[in-house]
Amino acid sequence: MSVIAGARMVTPDGVVEHGWLRVDGGRIAALGHGPSPTPADRDLAGSWLIPGFVDMHTHGGGGGTVVGADPEAIHTFVATHRRHGTTSVVASLVSGEYDALERDVRALAELTDDGLLAGVHLEGPWISPARKGAHDERTLRAPEPAAVERLLTAGHGTVRMVTVAPELEHGLDAVRAVAAAGAVAAVGHTDATYDTARAAIDAGATVATHLFNAMAPVHHRDPGPIVALLEDERVTVELILDGVHLHPAVAGLVRSATASASGPGRVAFVTDAMDATDIGDGDYVLGGLAVRVEDGVARLVEGGSIAGSTLTMDRAFRFAVERAGFTVPEAVRASSAIPARLLGIDDRTGALAPGLDADLVVLAPDLTVEAVMARGEWSEA
């Protein structure tokens, strides 16, 4: 058993000053306000205590990549992001040949079953060549029903999200198939019109893959997919808050556009991180394409397209609060509760509440990570 006290604690009901929390058996047993009913093992002295981050879109970190699904590389990738407060992480696969994707999905499914990963995300190959970003155009395909079924079946329920360009042949059918399988159908890497994006939402799409990036831009006579995704209350929008993918004013605009009585409820922070994260500048490979990281920014060597990021969730959290106008509770929802709900794991993580896994992050007053607890086990930042 472990008892934490003296925290500025963010719960689903708001901020609890001088909060305490008790962990027992790897789960949150109780929490409250004021003096702890039992002696505290750790006094946070006013630091923030928030739920662990849930990253539903990331490709690697610490030199480890999800492509190839090597267990050692996956452990490195997970450990790297955990140091930055991410206690639940989805492995995102870039476009590839079907045989390779099926092999990787099967291997990642085993690691999901083992509890290391929170699921698998297919960010391709069913995306638009016109908005391919850092995906190898040679591997892009229309989402034929048999191929969609093949990869979903390979994951036996662990494929949590699939990104689709709905304007492709069979695109809307793919959205329906993904949603019917219980996974999240996401619209992304798309050149869809406004009307086609609306049709995808009606077909069951509920997420916008890194909104604004790899999408047809907004035009006042041709609003495109961005407006359709942003205006519909059924859609949660991913934001990559590294200061490269989005200007802070745009992130703030999204916050305002998705606001409700309880604050922004349709924003999920993601990192889209690649293996260079926490390693440094240099030359890398993403999905078979050469990538160069300079000053922390990853771009394809050929063409210069942004190639994922070197972002971590703690940096995204700080960017949201310090530069994009999010409050700390709003940033907690966007980095924990909302992605956990979308992934269907909110019955075990994503909030500070009795019965959930003890996935916790301690943030200093300047919002830097001081310590991380995953399933009741501490690790220092």
pLDDT in tens, the chain (381 residues): 899 999 999 999 999 999 999 999 999 999 999 998 899 999 999 899 999 999 999 999 999 999 998 999 999 999 999 999 999 999 999 999 999 999 999 999 999 999 999 999 999 999 999 999 999 999 999 999 999 999 999 999 999 999 999 999 999 999 999 999 999 999 999 999 999 999 999 999 999 999 999 999 999 999 999 999 999 999 999 999 999 999 999 999 999 999 875 555 799 999 999 999 999 999 999 988 999 999 999 999 999 999 999 999 999 999 999 999 999 999 999 999 999 999 999 999 999 999 999 999 999 999 999 999 999 999 865
Q: Is there a binding annotation on residue 307? A: yes
Side chain identity at 199, as an amino acid letter? A
- Rounded distance between C-alpha atoms, residue 272 and residue 121, angstroms: 11
- What are the C-alpha distances in Å from 187 to residues 164, 165, 248, 251? 5, 6, 23, 19
- Rounded distance between C-alpha atoms, residue 90 and residue 338, angstroms: 14
C-beta of residue 218 within 8 angstroms of C-beta of residue 257: no
- Rounded distance between C-alpha atoms, residue 144 and residue 151, angstroms: 11
Q: Is there a binding annotation on residue 181? A: no
Known catalytic residue at 173:
no
DSSP run (H or E) holding 55: strand 53-58
Q: Is there a binding annotation on residue 17? A: no
User: For residue 17, what pLDDT is reported?
Assistant: 94
Q: Are strands 289-294 and 282-286 parallel, antiparallel or unpaired?
A: antiparallel
Using alpha carbons only, give the angle 189, 175, 265 rounded to the nearest 5 degrees.
75
Q: What phi, psi does 321 have (nearest 5°)? A: -80, -45
DSSP run (H or E) holding 267: strand 267-269
Active site residue: 191, 272, 278, 357, which one?
272
Q: Is there a binding annotation on residue 245? A: yes
Cis peptide before 166 (omega within 30 of 0): no
Q: Is there a binding annotation on residue 221? A: yes
SS3 of 19, please? strand
DSSP run (H or E) holding 120: strand 120-123
User: For residue 261, what pLDDT is reported?
Assistant: 53
User: In CATH, which of 3.90.79.10, 3.40.50.1100, 3.10.450.50, 2.30.40.10 is domain 2-49+363-380?
Assistant: 2.30.40.10
Q: Is there a binding annotation on residue 203? A: no
C-beta of residue 118 within 8 angstroms of C-beta of residue 66: no
Domain boundaries, the chain: 2-49+363-380, 53-348
pTM: 0.95
Alpha helices in 44-144 (DSSP H): 71-82, 98-113
Side chain identity at 154, as an amino acid letter? A
Among 339, 51, 346, 53, which Cα is nearest to 206's? 339
What CATH architecture does domain 53-348 belong to?
Alpha-Beta Barrel (3.20)
